[in-house]
Structures are given as C-alpha cells and as structure tokens.
Amino acid sequence: MKGRKVISIIAVLVMTLSSFSVAFAADYGDWDAGTVYPSDVMNTSLLAPVKFLMDKKVITGDSDGLFHPDKSITRAEFATMMAKATNNTADLASMEKLTYFKDLDGYTWAKGYINACAKAALINGKGDQKFEPGSNVTYAEVITIIIRSKNSSAVTTGTWPDNYIQYAQMNMNSMIGDRNITDWNAPASKGDVAMMLYRSMPKN
C-alpha cells in the first residue's frame, strides 16, 4: 500500500509540474518567438515599448544583446528609427542617391533613412547642407520630429525649440509626462526615446 501511495504522490507531482510548464509556455507564446529581447529591459517599464519597437523592426538591441536604455543615440540613429516608424522606407536605393546633406560619408547604413526623413519634411539639417549624423540627438529634436510626424502643421508660430516644447507639454503630456525631462537640449536617452516613440505610434 505504501508503495502505491508513493507512486500516486509522484504521479500527482508530475502532473502538477507538467501543468505549470504548459501554462508558462502558453504565456510566453504570446511573444514573438523569433526575437530575443534585451535582458536589461526585462521586468522594467521599458519592456513593452522595446518589445513593440523590436517586433516592428524599428529598433534592435546592441551587439552585446542589451538595450542600454541610459545611453544617448545619434541623429543618424534616430532618423533611421523615425523613417522605419513612419513607414518612409520605400525605395531606399533611390533615397541613398539624394543629396540633401554633404556630410554623410561613412553613414551608408543610414543615408537612405536620413534622406527619406528629409524628403518627408521630418528633419532639418544644421545649415550649409550639414546634418551632423554623429551628433547626439537632443530631447528637443526628438519631440520636434515626432510632432512633425503626427501633424506637420501643428506648430506654425514661435521660435524653435520653445514652440515645439510648449506644444508637446500642452498637447502630448501623456507621451512625455513621466519622462521627467528637465533639459530639452540634453542628449536624449535610448530609454526615453523608445518610450516616447512607442506612445506616439498606432498599435494596430
């Protein structure tokens, strides 16, 4: 009898553990199994934005497999993200031949995306046909480009960047409210950019 009880207990345990494994697998099945998400955003508020943007092929992790949310990003990197987020990626080969800017040598990987954003009137250069692709993108530049992508005629008066900052604070607080941006001219962090871009994009 004792032997049968032990066997019965073991069987129950096996069934319980099997049920747990199946439930865990089912929950994980809601994810894109083809993508490995960076471990440094797991169990953080950035998991949903980063997962969404990676699934949409807007961003990728770094070469070490991490996201590094506190790092800054360049103007070239942000232009690439915005071109993808706004579906301005058609005919990149033709975009690469355009000559909006003369300082894109060494940025072959980004040139088509940068020119696509320029053609769509999302970005401006720094004058004298320079884009400064390697410079850090600032919070003011990020919010300006996002606003233009949503409504190109939203801001028609005032002096940049104050006019765009004021518009964002008055009309887009749900997107920037908890980002605690105190210096709009500071380099934007990857985490903040991911969160703001995620909140600005349609989810269907």
51 and 77 assigned to the same domain: yes
Mapped onto helix, strand or coil, the DSSP state of residue 138 is: strand
24 and 82 assigned to the same domain: no
pTM of the model: 0.81
Q: How confident is the model over 56-107, as pLDDT tens digits? A: 999 988 889 999 999 999 999 999 999 999 999 999 999 999 999 999 999 9
How many other C-beta atoms lie within 10 A of the C-beta of residue 99? 8
23 and 45 assigned to the same domain: no
73 and 173 assigned to the same domain: yes
53 and 112 assigned to the same domain: yes
77 and 12 assigned to the same domain: no
22 and 69 assigned to the same domain: no
Query: How many domains, the chain?
Result: 2
7 and 60 assigned to the same domain: no
Pairwise CA distance, residues 91 & 98, whole Å: 12
101 and 143 assigned to the same domain: yes
Tokens of 41: 């955003």
86 and 179 assigned to the same domain: yes
User: Residue 180: which region, alpha, beta or left (left: phi > 0; alpha: psi -120 to 50)?
Assistant: left
169 and 193 assigned to the same domain: yes
Q: How confident is the model over 122-173, as pLDDT tens digits? A: 999 999 999 999 999 999 999 999 999 999 999 999 999 999 999 999 999 8
Query: What residue numbers bound the domain in which 82 lies?
Result: 37-200
